[in-house]
A and B are shown apart, each in its own frame.
Chain A
């Protein structure tokens, strides 16, 4: 089955740019979706189809996807961005939804 690999943690200072990666074999050929989850809450979609931002998500959140790596970029990081971030793809061969292991973003 398809596997998505994320770094366990990323740290960045307020005002800087944080990047969360999601690795997978030829992931650039798939559409990648990103979710933010804060403690005790359900995940929230922040990016769909590699780079589309749902209504209500700040422009500071952006995404890209090429080759074997997809990236969620958070510009001008704020304390409120501290959360777990998960990437997700749909594997059309197996009809399975696949989540990455998650990355904890710490705002220093």
Chain B
């Protein structure tokens, strides 16, 4: 059974940093792209970042580029999102998601339960 378990969320002050982690199980992590999707209160999902199975290729939404870094530890079955220079606009539930990708498209076939990141003084 595929499971994605996020951790590391919480309250952080504006300008601060936080790293959220995603422990993956039930599948071979290095065979799949992984992505982070966030959802602000009352809003729709917003794609944040993605990483290829090997970790050699990463991509970021314009809203987080230069501030967030996605990485993965395949032997340790964990994906990370390092978030720096946080602002109130980064407040959201952050979902770790398993990607199902071909050469033509990608979609999410499994989602974590989500973890809340609140940026506030």
Interface residues of A (CB under 8 A from B): 1, 30-31, 33, 35, 37, 42-45, 48-49, 54, 84, 86, 88-90, 92, 94-102
**Docked-complex contact B114 and A97, CB < 8 angstroms:** no
User: How many Å lie between the Cα of A93 and that of B46 in the bound state?
Assistant: 18
Check if B105 sits within 8 Å of A30, measured CB to CB. yes
Instruction: Determine the residue in chain A with the shortest Cβ distance to B58.
Output: A95
Q: How far is the CA of A45 from the CA of B46 in the complex (A)?
A: 16
Majority-rule SS of B interface residues: strand
The answer to whether A99 and B109 have CB atoms under 8 Å apart is: no
| Tally of chain B residues near chain A (CB < 8 A) | 24
A49, closest chain B residue (CB): B105
Shortest distance from the beta carbon of B15 to any chain A beta carbon, whole Å? 26
B111 within 8 A of A: yes
* Residues of B in contact with A (beta carbons under 8 Å apart): 35, 37, 44-47, 50, 57, 59, 61-62, 95, 100-101, 104-109, 111-114
The minimal Cβ–Cβ distance linking B28 to chain A, given in whole angstroms, is 20
Residues of A within 8 A of B47 (CB): 96-99
Residue contact A95 to B59, C-beta cutoff 8 Å: yes
B57 contacts A45, C-beta separation under 8 Å: no
- Establish whether residues B95 and A42, one from each chain, have CB atoms under 8 Å apart when the complex forms: yes
Query: Which one of B46, B105, B109, B114 lies within 8 Å of A31 (CB-CB)?
Result: B105
Q: Which residues from chain A contact B44 at a C-beta distance below 8 Å?
A: 84, 86, 99-102
For B111, give the chain A residue with the smallest CB separation: A42
Residue in contact with B107 in the complex, picked from A1, A33, A94, A95, CB distance below 8 Å: A33
B106 engages A86 (CB within 8 Å) = no
